[in-house]
Structure 1
Amino acid sequence: MGQGKTSLVQRLYQRAVARYWARSARSAATARLAVLRQQSQKAQDLRRHLNRVIAVSQSRLALPLIGSNSFPRPHGTDWAWRPELWRQPLDRVGIASVANRESLGAEVTLFHDCAVSEVTLRQIRNTREADLAPFGVSMDVLGFDGSFLSLVVDLPDEAVRGLKRSHVIRLDTIVEQESPLEIFVRLNVKHGPNTEQVVHELPVNQEVNTVEFDLAYTKLNEKRVEKAWVDLIFEGPEMNRVILRDATFSRRPRAEF
């Protein structure tokens, strides 16, 4: 018998169980207390299993699918990536009072200089039909006594392998803000002892954003590229909640005219 198939005997048994509980529900108001007590315990045991099936099935059937790396890619893309935090369930889904340089997952790290951290990071499940990423990350900030707050995404080795000044690196994000705040995005590419930096500001009150970093305007030494990372820098983040529903990266050669 193949996995997932239900035999005739199983179907008949399931119908009999359903009829039993239907009769028990109808007679509960008049049943003897000893019988009712026994049925109540059985019902609670059954409910625990049913609740587990419902919870797991709703999570698995919800859109988008866990592990999805599906998102639009510009024409000519030679590398594309969605970080683990937005793609897979993490073992550690949340951090309260996040310390400086503390990571959520293997690729995302929070930096700040607060004396007392009132920042919380939490991976959340995306269930909106419009969302392509299976997960998002929620950042809650209460008091903030520091001078900077940034979420850093380390790009994988594939992002910088063969990287040239003729490349454009693109970031697509979906950002929800409880209150409007300034968010800057900075690409950092380390080559030898130097680091090239390109900064853009995300539009305020715009949920879907695309930022492109054209490396033609840098002094990148193509032969010495070592690694790259992206900073999301939040200005005046106190008493706010920011949800990053998605973050995807891609790379393509610049069109020549």
Structure 2
Amino acid sequence: MKMLGGKALDTIAFAIGRKRWSDAARRAGEADLADLRLQRQRARQLRRHLDDLIHVADSRLALPMIGSNAFRRPHGADWGWRPELWRGPLPVPGFASVQSKSMLGDEVTLFHDCERSELTLRQIRNRREKDLAPFGLRMDVFRFDGSFLSLAVDLPGDAVAGLKRRHLIRMNTIVEMEKPLEIFARLNIRHGPNTEQIVRELPLTEEDNMVEFDLAYSSMNEKRVEKAWVDLIFEGPRMNQVILRDLTFSRRPRAEL
């Protein structure tokens, strides 16, 4: 199949299509409503494909390599994953005065109980040579009148497929902050009507941090596992800037004795 772009016929077809939509946009203020409704429907369908193309193109053409799921995994890992926010550019890169339950992308949700939000979330481009993740997440917290602040990261279906109590789930993250604060990671596994929770505190002694959740100490029902997610809980976030340069997950079975 020939690629779009350099061929003469492709160039002509592109010019004709661009002029058609340019003319339609210019006449939209005076167009017949029936024609305008049809044009809107077609434009939305076209925009969906264009957004998909732009997202994939940005993922492949930018440096460091966008879309990369490459990171150091423990020996014997049977699953590894980097959420989309750290892999590729999002259509909406951020929010100001972020309300609770706001989602950045399809996998990351912010929760808080502030009466007045003075929080911002923004996807940023990683440009340091040592960064493996193409993007990071910056959170700015100004006045904070709430009692909790957390980011929930939904794990994909592959994370729980075949999940057993003999598994260890590892989370690696690279964190920068203006001033010290405590960050806790809570793994949640829904199995039937119950949710198992395991909490670990990030050591934060170095920029690159790792915690492991040992499912051997849980009461998880292996036959009823439905979903898993991780909450990153920030203690005392007032007047601080936190940057998560990378966030990755992996799992490995415990060595047989």
Which category describes the TM-score, using the shorter chain as reference length?
A: 0.7 to 0.9
Deviations 1:114-133 (A, max 9, x none): 00001100000001010000
**CA distance in 1: counterparts of 2:122 and 2:76, whole angstroms:** 34
Partner of 1:10: none
Partner of 2:48: none
Partner of 2:209: 209
Partner of 1:187: 187
**CA distance in 2: counterparts of 1:247 and 1:204, whole angstroms:** 14
Aligned AA for 2:256? E
Partner of 1:14: none
Deviations 1:9-56 (A, max 9, x none): xxxxxxxxxxxxxxxxxxxxxxxxxxxxxxxxxxxxxxxxxxxxxxx9
Deviation at 1:3, TM superposition (A): 10
Deviation at 1:208, TM superposition (A): 0.6
Deviations 1:194-239 (A, max 9, x none): 1111111112442110111000000010001010000000000010
**CA distance in 1: counterparts of 2:121 and 2:205, whole angstroms:** 21
Partner of 1:241: 241
What is the identity percentage for the equivalent residue pairs of Structure 1 and Structure 2? 70
Q: Is the 8 A contact 1:180 1:205 kept in 2?
A: no
**CA distance in 1: counterparts of 2:129 and 2:243, whole angstroms:** 17
Partner of 1:44: none
| 1:68-217 pair list within 5 angstroms | 68-217=68-217
Q: Determine helix, strand or coil for the equivalent of 2:216.
A: helix
Deviations 1:150-171 (A, max 9, x none): 0010000110011000000010
**CA distance in 1: counterparts of 2:216 and 2:256, whole angstroms:** 12
Partner of 1:251: 251
Unaligned segments of structure 2, at least 5 residues: 7-56
Q: Determine helix, strand or coil for the equivalent of 2:133.
A: coil
**CA distance in 2: counterparts of 1:75 and 1:247, whole angstroms:** 19
**CA distance in 1: counterparts of 2:205 and 2:115, whole angstroms:** 30
**CA distance in 2: counterparts of 1:3 and 1:91, whole angstroms:** 24
**Bigger Rg, structure 1 or 2:** 1
Deviation at 1:173, TM superposition (A): 0.3
Normalising by structure 2, report the TM-score: 0.76
- The Cα RMSD (Å) is 2.0
How many residue pairs are counted as aligned between the two chains?
A: 204
Normalising by structure 1, report the TM-score: 0.76
Q: Determine helix, strand or coil for the equivalent of 2:212.
A: strand
Q: Is the 8 A contact 1:68 1:133 kept in 2?
A: yes
Deviation at 1:73, TM superposition (A): 1.1
Q: Determine helix, strand or coil for the equivalent of 1:86.
A: helix
Unaligned segments of structure 1, at least 5 residues: 6-55
Aligned AA for 1:200? R
**Runs (4+) off by over 4 Å:** 2-5
| 1:35-74 pair list within 5 angstroms | 60=61, 62=63, 64-74=64-74
**CA distance in 1: counterparts of 2:88 and 2:158, whole angstroms:** 19
**CA distance in 2: counterparts of 1:163 and 1:81, whole angstroms:** 15
Q: Is the 8 A contact 1:191 1:226 kept in 2?
A: yes
Aligned AA for 2:86? W
Aligned AA for 2:253? P
Deviations 1:141-193 (A, max 9, x none): 00000000000100001100110000000101000011100000110001011
**CA distance in 2: counterparts of 1:182 and 1:152, whole angstroms:** 16
